[in-house]
Structure 1
């Protein structure tokens, strides 16, 4: 009998982090995929995933609507609570053998808590890492609830073991997103130009900006966005700018983006909501520099040799390669760092986050691992 593996996708970033595992589960003779889409992944304003998943051949997707969009920190807590309620019903009906939860977004807490209370083995991808923001707390909380850990780096594995996790249940598989990045890196197709509106973006002559809210920055979120915008405008380099994740403060950034788009005649900046993972990786593979506070620059960027300017505290402590320069939200510092990175890059490729086989390896472990939900505190 095939093991039923329930994978919960909560946001656009979760899909690229897990796509090769989904493909591997579908193809595995001992596994059956149950796919749940919830949180911001259902909403078009945050790059809704339904059509993209369908185009990629995933069917019978279970949709769970739980995202509250009130612009305050309370909405995140209530979204998590609603997710527990709705996902508990889903798990009761589908009765999976294992629930898989991804990374560190607050919505992952819902799946972790529901599975744990229902005595369903919980597998966590990307535990044991260190960052800033609320993500740090969420990631480690999910790790303590999880029964199986599939980590991206050797240091992440060592941290989980130091936290008391059973070494036999912590596997260093690498990150599934690196599977896709390696495919993108080996793509021999020529660089290409991107046409957006009135502008043509020559290959390797554009920036990619990914700036998400720092949830503990409070009233500084709007000012941080304006500082980055000031720097990007001054650089006068064609730019693809992705809208933010559905975190507390995202609405303020979205309003500023809308205001700027309506008032500005600057055709060098083009705003995007989402791309399929392969197109997105091809976009960043050829960019002159990735700017902002997304983990993409540190994780996939290290493999793709991309020069990165990381801004602020959101990625504090995350393992990184030599391709990253860290700065604060000072426009002059951002400008100087970007100019330096454009001149220096590309960098030497790094395999710090994986070697391209994570999806297949995790699927095989899900098929063979002993299923057990008994945990005790150890040191």
Structure 2
């Protein structure tokens, strides 16, 4: 009997974290993919991920508009509440055999609560990792609500067991984003100029035939009132380094309005003259841009996950990724603009790009589909614990 697998994607990064699993689920003879796109993944100002998803050939079964304007702690909580109410209706309509929730964004807890309270087996992808701030609490809450755990690394596997989950429900699959990294690395050398030319951005044209860097800086929820000052320090560092820069817009988190305002004010005052801004790219294109760069700067998890596999140098700023497993590609710095600028300068002197396979070997998607096709989803067994 075919199992209906409902995957809920709530943000731009969540899609790249699950894309190859979506392909494997769609193509598996014993699985039927149901795709729900929600929250910031629907909004153009945060990259319009739904357009990328549909252009990749996926059928979207439902959309859920749930983001409350404001990008602060109150609106994050309210958005989660709206999502919970709407997703309950969606699950009642679709009647899936299981629901997949991804990682640690605040919207994901709405998916988990709705599925758990409706007795729908919940599958959590990327549980057990440490990231700090509210994201880590959300990730572990998702783990405790989930029935099946698809973890990406050894330390996460151990941590989910320590959280009290039964070993037979925990599967070390690796992360599907590493599948994309493998594909990008194995592809023919990319014409970076052609890639960036396909996307509408803001700012001066950047000659990417010359060495360039990528910036992706998100607000830290527990430091949301400092997001503008932190963005300004990074802006000063990028100005001081004076390198061609591709800057990607922040996620919709508490404090993102402060980050965005800092960028707009800087541009109005003639700063970031060698910087071009982008909302989003196709995941494979983005990874090819990273491979062609001198490195990535900011606090995105891509610096620690995909870039570890790719060997792309990374300057990780501040506390957002505190505690997460990282490879030899990462240099950690604080928020001081001088320290950030010095770390950027060092990227121009690196002669080696070591690779580490912390988050998988590039074949997670098909492992995930096989687990979903064969796992025991009896809700009675799911609710039985052995302490």
State the TM-score, normalized to the length of structure 1.
0.96
Aligned residue among 243, 264, 268 for 2:270: 264
1:309-348 equivalences under 5 Å are 309-344=315-350, 346-348=352-354
Contact 1:288-1:345 within 8 A present in 2 as well: no
1:141-152 equivalences under 5 Å are 141-152=141-152
Q: Which residue of 1 aligns with 2:216?
A: 210
Using the TM superposition, give the Cα deviation of residue 283 of structure 1 relative to its aligned residue in structure 2, in angstroms: 0.6
Aligned CA-pair RMSD:
1.6
Using the TM superposition, give the Cα deviation of residue 169 of structure 1 relative to its aligned residue in structure 2, in angstroms: 0.5
Q: Which residue of 2 aligns with 1:375?
A: 383
Aligned pair in 2 of structure 1 residues 377, 76: CA closer, same or farther (>3 Å)? farther
- Answering whether residue 243 of structure 2 is matched by residue 237 of structure 1, we say yes
Task: Identify the range of structure 1 (48-57 vs 193-202) with the bigger mean alpha-carbon deviation.
Answer: 193-202
Q: Which residue of 1 aligns with 2:356?
A: 350
Contact 1:307-1:342 within 8 A present in 2 as well: no
Contact 1:41-1:48 within 8 A present in 2 as well: yes
Q: Which residue of 1 aligns with 2:69?
A: 69
Using the TM superposition, give the Cα deviation of residue 35 of structure 1 relative to its aligned residue in structure 2, in angstroms: 0.3
Distance 2:60 2:321 in 1: 35
Distance 2:386 2:333 in 1: 39
Q: Which residue of 2 aligns with 1:166?
A: 166
1:1-379 equivalences under 5 Å are 1-193=1-193, 198-203=204-209, 205-264=211-270, 266-344=272-350, 346-373=352-379, 374-375=382-383
Using the TM superposition, give the Cα deviation of residue 338 of structure 1 relative to its aligned residue in structure 2, in angstroms: 1.6
Aligned pair in 2 of structure 1 residues 345, 223: CA closer, same or farther (>3 Å)? farther
Task: Identify the range of structure 1 (83-92 vs 199-208) with the bigger mean alpha-carbon deviation.
Answer: 199-208
Aligned residues: 379
CA deviation digits over 1:32-51, x for unaligned, max 9?
01000001001000011222
Using the TM superposition, give the Cα deviation of residue 72 of structure 1 relative to its aligned residue in structure 2, in angstroms: 2.4
SS in 2 for 1:171: strand
Using the TM superposition, give the Cα deviation of residue 204 of structure 1 relative to its aligned residue in structure 2, in angstroms: 6.4
State the TM-score, normalized to the length of structure 2.
0.94
CA deviation digits over 1:234-277, x for unaligned, max 9?
10100011110000000111122223333326431111110010
Q: Unpaired runs of 5+ in structure 1?
A: none
Contact 1:102-1:108 within 8 A present in 2 as well: yes
Distance 1:223 1:371 in 2: 48
